[in-house]
Homo-oligomer: A and B are copies of this chain.
Amino acid sequence: MTDETRSKILAVAKELNYVPNAAARTLKKRESGILGVFLTDFKGDVYGDLLDGMKEVCNGRGYDLIVCSGKRAHRMLPERMIDGAVILDQTFKNEELLKYADRNHKIVVLDRELDHPNINQVLLDNKAGAALAAEYLLEQGHRKIYVVSGPEGSFDSTQRMKAVKMVADRAREAEWIEIAGDFKKSGGERAAEQVIREYSGPAAVFCLNDEMAIGFWNRLEGTGYRIGEHIHLIGFDNIELTNYMQPRLATINYSKRKWGALAAEQLIKILAGEQVEHERIYVTLIKGESVGKI
């Protein structure tokens, strides 16, 4: 076909408002050119940058990205509406993901360890982060340390808690007290109530995510207990809100954008048939006046 006829056809196509039909194309080509990311819900401060990172990589590689949430949407993967999935979503059971992987669907998990040739892991270095936080509290001289966990069964919570226990085992001079949380503000608030109830002198609190640290913080307002003075607080995630807290909340930081970008890259690679290794996202400690010296 000459360039001339080509442009003529394109002109007529535009003239007639021709638009290709995605379903037909997908049916025939047996691929949609769309990647899906699954979130437990749309709330939560962590997601913005992560999704932007994913989008950037996807679009640069010729893929569209769609964001889904809720059990109903799961079928998009087995029904082949999407070519592959990134999972950051508790509502997916391991069993379900393995079933899809067995049927040759390609998956990247961000929230669990799961071994399968069609599943790649891009995980936070939770253990390093939690150890960093726990050791920071010790270094600052704290000897009574509360640790507020996430919900039962959360991978992040389990990993972080494990690392804390490793540190605790080596630092027997400190008293370590575990409080069951939920990764939500309400869990932080409840933890604050317990800590206040048991208060008998300076205490440190490691909330296993920032969201709970904020709830904790909030519950302390107006009680007379001051953060960084009576009660010392550190979180995990470095969500944006922490930048605007006075005194600054100490926390664990990592690049959410890079996390998303890497996840998308890995997914696209395994879709192209490349063999890839699991990846790890590194974390750093952010010190803050919310943790004082004793």
Contacts and interface: CB of A to CB of B under 8 A. Distances in A.
Contact of A52 (B36, B43, B66): B43
B79 A19 contact: yes
A264 interface: no
Contacts of A70: 55, 59, 65
B23 A27 contact: yes
Contacts of A41: 48, 52
Contacts of A9: none
Contacts of A68: 64-67
Interface stretch (A148-156, A238-246, A276-284): A238-246
A176 interface: no
A92 interface: no
B48 A44 contact: yes
Size category of the binding interface on chain A: 35 or more
Contacts of A108: none
A68 B67 CA distance: 7
A82 to B, nearest CB: 9
A7 interface: no
Nearest to A37: B67
A73 B79 contact: no
A78 to B, nearest CB: 4
Given A51-B42, A52-B43, A214 B67 contact: no
A25 B78 CA distance: 14
A81 interface: yes
A42 B55 contact: yes
Interface in A36-75: 36, 41-45, 47-49, 51-52, 55, 59, 64-70, 72-73, 75
A272 interface: no
Interface in A240-267: 240-241, 243-246
A64 B72 contact: yes
A71 to B, nearest CB: 9
30 contacts: A17-B103, A19-B78, A20-B79, A21-B80, A22-B76, A22-B80, A22-B81, A23-B24, A23-B80, A41-B48, A42-B51, A42-B52, A42-B55, A43-B52, A45-B45, A51-B69, A55-B69, A64-B68, A64-B72, A64-B73, A64-B76, A66-B66, A66-B68, A66-B73, A214-B244, A218-B243, A221-B246, A241-B244, A244-B244, A246-B246
Interface of A: 17, 19-27, 32, 34, 36, 41-45, 47-49, 51-52, 55, 59, 64-70, 72-73, 75-76, 78-81, 103, 214, 217-218, 221, 240-241, 243-246
Given A25-B79, A55-B69, A65-B69, 10 more contacts: A19-B79, A20-B79, A22-B23, A22-B80, A42-B48, A42-B52, A42-B55, A64-B76, A65-B68, A217-B244
